[in-house]
């Protein structure tokens, strides 16, 4: 779901399809033991400062629990309905 959320958000914001497969890793915070997303941006993202900043912001919102899973699901549905070419929900 995270991949769909990030990919769909980038598509909506920048009108670009970009494969984010190797741009982040799911890991665990050493102190809190909570799952977190760690950016592992490749040159593909680092060479696009606006996209890097946007993805960093989205990842931080998820990591700092500024948005819930319900919010992410709702946002995906909304983005999907606004652009029928977006990735289908599963």
Confidence (pTM)? 0.79
Of residues 14 and 72, more confidently modeled? 14
The rounded distance, in Å, linking the Cα atoms of 88 and 81 is 10
Residue 24 neighbours by CB distance under 10 Å:
21
Q: How many residues does the chain have?
A: 90
- Measured between alpha carbons, how far apart are the two ends of the chain, in Å? 9
Of residues 73 and 49, more confidently modeled? 49
Residue 6 has pLDDT above 60, yes or no: yes
């Amino acid at each position: 779901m995270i991949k769909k959320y990030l990919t769909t958000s980038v598509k909506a914001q920048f009108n670009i399809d970009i494969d984010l497969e190797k741009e982040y890793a799911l890991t665990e915070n050493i102190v809190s033991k909570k799952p977190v997303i760690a950016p592992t941006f490749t040159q593909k993202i680092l060479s696009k400062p606006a996209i890097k900043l946007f993805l960093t912001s989205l990842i931080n919102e998820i990591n700092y629990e500024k948005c819930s899973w319900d919010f992410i699901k709702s946002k995906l549905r909304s983005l999907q309905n606004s652009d029928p070419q977006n990735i289908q929900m599963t």
